[in-house]
Amino acid sequence: MSGRLLLDHGSGGKASQRLVAEMFMRHFDNEILRVMDDAAYLDISGPLAVSTDTFTVDPIFFPGGDIGALSVHGTVNDVSMLGATPLFLTCGFVLEEGLDLGDLERVVVSMGRAAREAGVRIVAGDTKVVPRGAADKIFINTTGIGTVRVSPAPSGRRAAPGDAILLTGSMGDHGLAILSTRQGLSFESPVVSDCASLNFLVGKVLDAVPDVHVLRDPTRGGLATTLNEIAGQSGVGCFIEESRIPVDPAVAGGCAVLGLDPLYLANEGKFICIVPEADAEAALAVMRADALGRGACRIGEVRADYPGKVVMTTPLGGQRLLGMLEGEQLPRIC
């Protein structure tokens, strides 16, 4: 579609119908959505995982992704972190009057492709058009539903002394990609977001190691804040080694220039996995065999001392507490 979005597109009348039929239905089409009732009829049984998130990232297009793909990946990953298989998504759009319809379609196409690749169906949705200036281009809310595949399910409350702390790859890629695009910065090596759906990799790990204690994707607040959340939930200490934490050289260089710590930057395609020590090597082998976990490594262990804290050993052998992020380091990152 071409032209600009008008308030009429959110009126519920003919313009709304055309927008839904020619854009959203065209790219999200499936047999459940096609029924077009007020609610989607889903036939699901067993324990369920549900998660919702709202995406306001600025800019809406960035190296490695866009707000449409991000809105799928983010919610698919949140559902997956409970040891679940994501099945369905709903989506709600808040659109600013005057938005380029070509940009909107580019986002919708990307969102539909991301959902198909993740094996989830978009089964319900809503659009609202607000006056110019009442929103910034496009905001998307997605809610995901999936079936929990293991019992007990992974939880931030299940980290136990003696567990190994694993990570699937490098830290900070998404956060620095957004910041550099927003500020018009360029580095010697391009920085690309790691934005990706992790559900298939999580499934492989759970097949090999059903007793995964914790799964968590370190999005806003990054690795440091997420580990603090887990330490607090479980009442344990998370001990990690700085030299073992992978950071892409381009991200490390960019952070050094900008005075940022990559351990606090957002990631959208990585996860923390905490497992019993005896299962650590099996989990790492599965991760490394998948493209999304090729950089997987062990970064530390869970201990009983320093409950609720994250203790990091530096390359010089010293130790320091790694606190939770205070405030928002980079707003509108996801």
Q: Is residue 157 part of a domain?
A: no
Residues β-bridged to residue 93: 127, 140
pLDDT in tens, the chain (334 residues): 789 999 999 888 999 999 999 999 999 999 999 999 999 999 999 999 999 999 999 999 999 999 999 999 999 999 999 999 999 999 999 999 999 999 999 999 999 999 999 999 999 999 999 999 999 999 999 999 999 999 999 999 999 999 999 999 999 999 999 999 998 888 778 899 999 999 999 999 999 999 999 999 999 999 999 999 999 999 999 999 999 999 999 999 999 989 999 999 999 999 999 999 999 999 999 999 999 999 999 999 999 999 999 999 999 999 999 999 887 778 899 9
Tell me, yes or no, whether 227 and 118 share the same domain. Answer: no
Residue bearing tokens 């119908």:
17
Looking at the structure of the chain, the number of domains it has is 2
Closest CA to 210 of 158, 162, 154: 154
Tell me, yes or no, whether 287 and 264 share the same domain. Answer: yes
Tell me, yes or no, whether 33 and 66 share the same domain. Answer: yes
Q: Is residue 330 part of a domain?
A: no
Tell me, yes or no, whether 240 and 305 share the same domain. Answer: yes
- Under 8 Å between Cβ of 60 and 103: yes
pLDDT at 164: 98
Domain boundary among 117, 148, 179: 148
Q: Give the N- to C-terminal CA distance of the chain in Å, as an integer.
A: 26
Q: Is residue 194 part of a domain?
A: yes
Q: Model pTM greater than 0.85?
A: yes
Q: Is residue 153 part of a domain?
A: no
Q: Where would I find the beta strands (DSSP E) of the chain?
A: 48-55, 61-62, 65-66, 84-96, 121-130, 138-148, 164-167, 214-216, 237-241, 272-275, 297-303, 310-313, 319-321
Tell me, yes or no, whether 219 and 314 share the same domain. Answer: yes
CATH number at residue 74: 3.30.1330.10
Tell me, yes or no, whether 61 and 136 share the same domain. Answer: yes
Tell me, yes or no, whether 184 and 225 share the same domain. Answer: yes
Tell me, yes or no, whether 144 and 258 share the same domain. Answer: no
Tell me, yes or no, whether 124 and 252 share the same domain. Answer: no
Domain boundary among 148, 181, 198: 148
Range of the domain at 254: 163-322
What single string gives the DSSP state of each residue in 66-131? EHHHHHHHHHHHHHHTTTEEEEEEEEEEEEETT-BHHHHHHHHHHHHHHHHHHT-EEEEEEEEEE-
pLDDT at 327: 78
Q: Is residue 73 part of a domain?
A: yes
pLDDT at 183: 86
Closest CA to 197 of 168, 158, 172, 157: 168
Q: Is residue 154 part of a domain?
A: no
Tell me, yes or no, whether 141 and 167 share the same domain. Answer: no
Distances (CA, A) of 268 to 71, 152, 213, 237: 10, 25, 21, 25
Residues β-bridged to residue 274: 165, 214
DSSP 323: P
pLDDT at 222: 96
Domain boundary among 113, 148, 183: 148
pLDDT at 49: 98
Q: Is residue 88 part of a domain?
A: yes
Q: Is residue 331 part of a domain?
A: no
- In angstroms, the CA 138 to CA 6 distance is 13
The CA angle 294-298-303, to the nearest 5 degrees, is 155
Tell me, yes or no, whether 173 and 314 share the same domain. Answer: yes
CATH number at residue 176: 3.90.650.10
Tell me, yes or no, whether 236 and 311 share the same domain. Answer: yes
